[in-house]
Amino acid sequence: MKPTLQAVADAVGVSRSTVSNAYSRPDQLSAALRERILGAARQLGYPGPNPTARSLRRGFVGSIGVLFTSQLSYAFTDPFAVRFLAGVGEAAERHGTSMLLVPLSRAEPDARRAVENAAVDGFCVYCVADEEWALEVIRARGLPYVSTAARDDAGLDERFVGIDERAAARSVATHVAGLGHRRVALLADSVLPDAPAGPLALSGVDQVPHPTTHGRLAGFADAFADVGVGWAELTLVNAPDNSRQAAAAAVAGLFDRPTPPTAVLAGSDVLALGVLDVLAERPAGNRPPVSVTGFDDVPEAASAGLTTVRQPAEEKGRIAAELLLDPPADAAAGHVLLPTALVVRTSTGPVPRS
Amino acid sequence: MKPTLQAVADAVGVSRSTVSNAYSRPDQLSAALRERILGAARQLGYPGPNPTARSLRRGFVGSIGVLFTSQLSYAFTDPFAVRFLAGVGEAAERHGTSMLLVPLSRAEPDARRAVENAAVDGFCVYCVADEEWALEVIRARGLPYVSTAARDDAGLDERFVGIDERAAARSVATHVAGLGHRRVALLADSVLPDAPAGPLALSGVDQVPHPTTHGRLAGFADAFADVGVGWAELTLVNAPDNSRQAAAAAVAGLFDRPTPPTAVLAGSDVLALGVLDVLAERPAGNRPPVSVTGFDDVPEAASAGLTTVRQPAEEKGRIAAELLLDPPADAAAGHVLLPTALVVRTSTGPVPRS
DNA sequence: GCTAGTCTCTGTATCGATACAGACTGGATC
DNA sequence: GATCCAGTCTGTATCGATACAGAGACTAGC
């Protein structure tokens, strides 16, 4: 049997409290006794207070959870997510906190259980789509959280770090519209929860439930509305998840249509890179001159020459963790909007006249 | 006050046990009563059993820890580590387990506390150098673990997944030696715990404490010993950590020596890419034709044309988690050696004659 | 010599649940 | 009518620690 704190107390001949103090409040006992206790503990092979028991009694755990909508393995496939995690990790590390990665599996009962059972002091909600129930569970547990995807109904009491998705998306779309493009495809991930890969007809952008996706698509649409291209004239393409493969599958066939789009605006760099993959695969002679844009400005975007919108990934993660671990007294300071920048590279160009 | 299980029991007029059963053992009570209990819980805003209390009583937590020697933020900078994590995540997800990332900070007391306090059922030890104490803490806690860096004294009872570092390193070094290179630099990270960046004199490879680094350097040395180049004739270069920046700093100046190396064998792709960065920065006319090799075959290696040794990263992570979560009955099956392959690309070539 | 204050250490209550043995029903079986 | 059994539910002990009030012993101060 593993020795308990009681066993150490018995061995030394002091009370449990004193042994506990030896570990957690060294100033509460004499240095000599403390040494004697730690020595006995070493000898008995006592590994220190049991973390679970300790957190039960103390009421906090010393780790924060990061909630992902998607599978855990996707989180590591998406460079933006990785950089976000790095930021969270950096801040957590500074606070002596570890991070628990909690994936939300597709099956809601399981996913719900994961949120209910996570032993954490709070959550960074990386990307919860319409999983409003997850936030409810967190609130019911009385845990603080920071979300990164704004929702319209989010109260100001809710801590948040993110960008103005709509304005950022509009900026890159305005650039594309300015190049003369009018036949345009918008590519996004999880436009509707279980939609298949490929073109998707939607009466309006407000049908899109995921706030981030909604914001970006709405921003794209805004820019084209400005130049007289309505929603109905835009081709909406759905990718079942945020990966190059999914994007490639979604746009396959798009360029063989009678009137193919001259530009594809993607909701993320990963999707945009998937579009570039598809184009690169075609024989050079049969490669349509399509402009492609991304979103995020992940490291790969630079080498691919992708025009995109930069948002500060690590900083987003860092601030999210910071808002959680060291909440500002002022409620308004709990709502952080980060800057974005349009980055024009070689993947966009003037519409070819033909 | 947050409602407890007791509160729900009181509200419904049943015992605590019954409420507990409603959540954890539905077959122990009638469906009708269960519904009544869950209904009351919903109404009271009871979020389900407290995870900490539950794990204290049940004796397990439902999450596994991943131990990093380096800072948490490095873990996300190194593509190999990211892919390893993805593998761990995938397996963990299949088992309904979350993963706790535990960084080992430089200060040993803090780091020790992190291992002692991690609420986990076991550890994947990603890269523990000479931190033997960490393993001792884990053993003292009575927790299972899987290590990925073999140590000579590792008993067979210790679960392990990795590669034959020495043989793999030898294969790439043999390739370089076969190209005629004899003036060679070996670049590795943390050759000695606190050594500065740059060349380092060492009487023999056995002075290197970190088992992975030791294995790779020894493999490099083996291959050159075969062609008559002894340890003393090789230039050993230390990088303080495993990053492009550290590598660049370590080899800065190396190529301005009177007799510069014609090849640099790096202990990881990240380091090798750092060397390539340094070479790329030099004006084309003054760029020495140096062969460079890496180790791991991360995604970036392919686009950089880096000759390297491929090892299956995700699989390593997946198997590590699997060995932890679903230990094989047969002890020998707990010791997995993965295959490696030499990948020759454009970063190596015949030694220039001059 | 007496009160106050500081250092150490102890004892009990408590954190919020689950395990397990047993009590009570209401049929089915013989 | 006694026995057995499966299906439900209860009660107590327990998981392994920390919080907090307070008990003694000592030193200071007047």
Mean pLDDT over each residue of chain A, to the nearest integer: 91
- DSSP code at position A320: H
Q: pLDDT (tens digit, 9 = 90+) per residue, B196-225?
A: 999 999 999 999 988 899 999 999 999 999
pLDDT of residue A343: 98
Do the Cβ atoms of B277 and B304 come closer than 8 Å? no
Burial of B136 (0-12, 13-18, 19+ CB in 10 A): middle
d(CA A219, CA A204): 13
Which nucleotides of strand C lie within 7 A of protein CB?
7-12, 14-21
Confidence of residue A269 (pLDDT cuts 50, 70, 90): very high
d(CA A216, CA A267): 7
d(CA A103, CA A10): 43
pLDDT of residue A173: 98
- Side-chain half-sphere exposure of B46, counting CA atoms within 13 A: 24
Domain assignment present for residue B151? The answer is yes
Contact B101 A101 (CB under 8 A): yes
pLDDT of residue B331: 78
- DSSP code at position B352: P
Same domain, A154 and A177: no
Q: Is the pLDDT of residue B350 over 70?
A: yes
Whose C1' is closest to the CA of A32: which nucleotide? Answer: C8
Q: Is the pLDDT of residue B156 over 70?
A: no
Same domain, B171 and B302: yes
- DSSP code at position B101: E
pLDDT of residue A224: 98
Strand partners for A263: A184, A291
Phi, psi of A342 (to 5 degrees): -75, 130
Q: Are strands A308-310 and A341-343 parallel, antiparallel or unpaired?
A: antiparallel
Q: How far is A143 from chain B (nearest CA, A)?
A: 11
Share of chain B above pLDDT 90, in %: 72
Best CA proximity match to A47, nearest among B114, B132, B55, B138:
B138
Q: Is the pLDDT of residue A73 over 80?
A: no
- DSSP code at position A287: -
Best CA proximity match to A212, nearest among A137, A126, A325, A285:
A126
Q: Are strands A263-266 and A291-293 parallel, antiparallel or unpaired?
A: parallel
Confidence of residue B93 (pLDDT cuts 50, 70, 90): confident
Same domain, A149 and A188: no
d(CA B278, CA B275): 5
Q: Is the pLDDT of residue A285 over 80?
A: no
Domain assignment present for residue A144? The answer is yes
SS3 category, B265: strand
Do the Cβ atoms of A275 and A291 come closer than 8 Å? no
pLDDT of residue A156: 57
Assigned token pair, B306? 């880096």
Domain assignment present for residue A126? The answer is yes
Share of chain B above pLDDT 70, in %: 95
Q: How far is B235 from chain A (nearest CA, A)?
A: 33
> What mean pLDDT do residues B166-176 have?
98
pLDDT of residue B153: 57
Query: Ramachandran region of residue B45, left (φ > 0), alpha (ψ -120 to 50) or beta?
Result: left
Do the Cβ atoms of A253 and A261 come closer than 8 Å? no
Best CA proximity match to B187, nearest among B241, B256, B257, B120:
B241
State which residues between 14 and 73 of chain A bring their CB within 7 Å of strand C: 14-18, 21, 27-30, 33, 53, 56-57, 59
Burial of B330 (0-12, 13-18, 19+ CB in 10 A): exposed
Core vs surface per residue B39-66: b (16+ CB within 10 A) or e: ebbeebebbbbbbbebbbeeeebbbbbb
Contact B89 A73 (CB under 8 A): yes
Q: Footprint of strand D, using CB within 7 A?
A: A 2, 4-6, 16-17, 19-20, 23-25, 48-50, 53-54, 56-58; B 13-18, 21, 27-30, 33, 53, 56-57, 59
Q: Is the pLDDT of residue B134 over 80?
A: yes
Same domain, A274 and A190: yes
Same domain, B79 and B212: no
- Whether the beta carbon of A207 falls within 7 A of nucleic chain C: the reply is no
Same domain, A67 and A18: no
d(CA A222, CA A213): 14
- CA angle (B29, B30, B36) in 5-degree steps: 100
Same domain, A105 and A146: yes
Confidence of residue A293 (pLDDT cuts 50, 70, 90): very high
Distances (CA, A) of A176 to A298, B95, B196: 20, 46, 50
Asked whether the CA dihedral A215, A220, A225, A230 is positive or negative, the reply is negative
Q: Is the pLDDT of residue A128 over 70?
A: no
Q: pLDDT (tens digit, 9 = 90+) per residue, A81-121?
A: 989 998 998 899 889 899 999 877 777 777 888 899 999 99
Domain limits at B278?
165-312
Q: pLDDT (tens digit, 9 = 90+) per residue, A167-199?
A: 999 999 999 999 999 999 999 998 998 899 999
Domain assignment present for residue A130? The answer is yes
Name the CA radius of gyration of chain B, rounded: 26
Q: Say how many domains are in chain A.
A: 3
Looking at chain B, list the stretches that DSSP marks H as alpha helix, in order from N- to C-terminal side: 5-12, 16-24, 31-44, 51-58, 72-77, 79-94, 108-117, 132-140, 165-178, 211-226, 244-251, 269-281, 299-304, 313-325
> What mean pLDDT do residues B229-250 have?
95
Domain assignment present for residue B118? The answer is yes
Contact B116 A61 (CB under 8 A): no
Q: Is the pLDDT of residue A18 over 60?
A: yes
Q: Is the pLDDT of residue A228 over 70?
A: yes
pLDDT of residue A261: 96
pLDDT of residue A68: 81
- Residue B46: closest C-alpha in chain A: A140
pLDDT of residue A341: 98
- Torsion of the alpha carbons at A177, A251, A191 and A226, rounded to the nearest 10: 10
Q: pLDDT (tens digit, 9 = 90+) per residue, B283-295?
A: 877 778 899 999 9
pLDDT of residue B336: 93
Count, residues in chain A: 354
The mean-pLDDT minimum among A156-160, B92-96, B304-308 falls in: A156-160
Same domain, B204 and B295: yes
pLDDT of residue B73: 65
Count, residues in chain B: 354
- Whether the beta carbon of B2 falls within 7 A of nucleic chain C: the reply is yes
Assigned token pair, A212? 């981030």
Same domain, B317 and B298: no
pLDDT of residue B333: 86
d(CA A226, CA A85): 37
Say which residue, A344 or B212, is predicted with more confidence. A344
SS3 category, A64: strand
Assigned token pair, A253? 């066939």
SS3 category, A97: coil
Query: Ramachandran region of residue A105, left (φ > 0), alpha (ψ -120 to 50) or beta?
Result: beta
- Determine how many CB atoms are found less than 10 A away from the CB of residue B120: 32
**Residue A76 maps to which CATH number?**
3.40.50.2300
Q: Is the pLDDT of residue B236 over 70?
A: yes
Same domain, A260 and A158: no
Same domain, A152 and A241: no
> What mean pLDDT do residues B181-189 have?
97
Confidence of residue B194 (pLDDT cuts 50, 70, 90): confident
Domain assignment present for residue A291? The answer is yes
Domain assignment present for residue B298? The answer is yes
Question: Protein A53 CA to nucleic acid D17 C1', in Å?
Answer: 5
What strand order describes the sheet that includes B184-189? B198-199, B235-239, B184-189, B263-266, B291-293
* List of chain B residues whose C-beta atoms are within 8 Å of the C-beta of residue A99: 72, 100-101
- Residue with CA nearest C1' of nucleotide D20: A17
d(CA A102, CA A105): 9
pLDDT of residue B133: 83
Same domain, B199 and B260: yes
Burial of B333 (0-12, 13-18, 19+ CB in 10 A): exposed
Domain assignment present for residue B30? The answer is no
Q: Is the pLDDT of residue A48 over 80?
A: yes
Helix then strand count (H, E) for chain B reads 14, 13
